[in-house]
A = this chain, B = another copy of it.
């Protein structure tokens, strides 16, 4: 009918001399249509510059070929890597990523998730287990499949792909204990609305408790994930409760903050102070001294979340829990505590 630059499927069908139904099938259900017909329709579509309407397609088929991702912030190297890998994985299957961020605000999280659901995402990728009840209610009411990433839901209720934060964190602590450390400090990250941070902190306590050591309350401090906040937290620890020989950080960015402050005041790492991080961002291995940390396979998590979701959408079965390894990577920032315990 229309002679403008936006041919519809109807136009393709007319020019190709087939019905609307056949044209539709030729383009999206290759197997059902006779080879010759299919090729003919395809060539007509290409010639006309036909571009299907995602909206119409989504409305009629009830799937949008779009996945939603609700991330805290995406400008955190580790989440950025996961986003990248996820988007890449989806693109390979003709899917697209609808991205939303909430900056660790539960109310915003519910809000943006609702928006994604209204957009008709076929699935949702979330981070962690710490979500408001409304969020979970929204999920169950909408019946949209979702994947929890980073965390593991041991209860087995939520499909998830993540790592054992607590155990990994305990492992780092053990490493420091083995080196002889007894006085610990922790720059934790923000524990509110963040189960990963709390689990990591719990892991530190696990390891210490196992050796009969208590973590002093004034040696634990919350800090937002940034280098500057890492420095600030470290300074506060030094002032508030000096005498520790090892600092365990909630992530590498915080650890970098601690290290830069040490460099600034001439504190030698690891001779005078041991520092450990979590995540294994690229910089961790490039710093001098290189940072001891836990490798979090962020890209793998993103990729897997994507492929699991795609698999589930096409009816295939996947294990509810996919636990990835999070290995301790010992580098140069951790060593024996100084012989005489001195204020660092």
Contact assessment for A99 and B99 in the assembled complex, using a CB-CB cutoff below 8 Å: yes
Write the nearest CB–CB distance from A290 to chain B, whole angstroms: 9
- CA distance in complex: A72, B63 (Å): 27
Task: Quickly give the copy total for this chain.
Answer: 2
Contact assessment for A87 and B100 in the assembled complex, using a CB-CB cutoff below 8 Å: yes
Whether, in the assembled complex, A54 has its beta carbon less than 8 Å from a beta carbon of chain B, the answer is yes
Name the prevailing secondary structure of the A interface residues.
helix
- CA distance in complex: A119, B95 (Å): 10
Contact of A77 among B59, B77, B108, B263 (CB under 8 A): B77
Whether, in the assembled complex, A180 has its beta carbon less than 8 Å from a beta carbon of chain B, the answer is no
Contact assessment for B227 and A286 in the assembled complex, using a CB-CB cutoff below 8 Å: yes
Contact assessment for A260 and B231 in the assembled complex, using a CB-CB cutoff below 8 Å: no
Whether, in the assembled complex, A162 has its beta carbon less than 8 Å from a beta carbon of chain B, the answer is no
Contact assessment for A115 and B91 in the assembled complex, using a CB-CB cutoff below 8 Å: yes
Q: Taking A141-B49, A286-B231 as contacts, is the C-beta distance between A81 and B75 under 8 angstroms?
A: yes
- CA distance in complex: A117, B18 (Å): 26
Residue of B nearest to A102 (CB): B91
Contact assessment for B112 and A99 in the assembled complex, using a CB-CB cutoff below 8 Å: no
Contact assessment for B286 and A228 in the assembled complex, using a CB-CB cutoff below 8 Å: yes
Within 8 A of B (CB), among A51-109: 51-56, 58-59, 64-66, 73-77, 80-81, 83-84, 87-88, 91, 94, 96-101, 103, 108
- CA distance in complex: A98, B87 (Å): 10
Contact assessment for A115 and B94 in the assembled complex, using a CB-CB cutoff below 8 Å: yes
Per-residue interface assignment for chain A, residues 6 to 50, with 1 indicating a CB less than 8 Å from any chain B CB and 0 otherwise: 000000000000000000000000000000000000000000010
Contact of A75 among B77, B115, B117, B118 (CB under 8 A): B77
- The residues of B that contact A59 with a CB separation of less than 8 Å are 53, 55-56, 59
- The residues of B that contact A239 with a CB separation of less than 8 Å are none
Whether, in the assembled complex, A142 has its beta carbon less than 8 Å from a beta carbon of chain B, the answer is yes
- The residues of B that contact A77 with a CB separation of less than 8 Å are 75, 77, 80
Write the nearest CB–CB distance from A115 to chain B, whole angstroms: 6
- The residues of B that contact A228 with a CB separation of less than 8 Å are 282, 286
- CA distance in complex: A77, B78 (Å): 10
Whether, in the assembled complex, A114 has its beta carbon less than 8 Å from a beta carbon of chain B, the answer is yes
Per-residue interface assignment for chain A, residues 222 to 260, with 1 indicating a CB less than 8 Å from any chain B CB and 0 otherwise: 000011100100000000000000000000000011001
- The residues of B that contact A80 with a CB separation of less than 8 Å are 74-77, 80
- CA distance in complex: A242, B165 (Å): 46
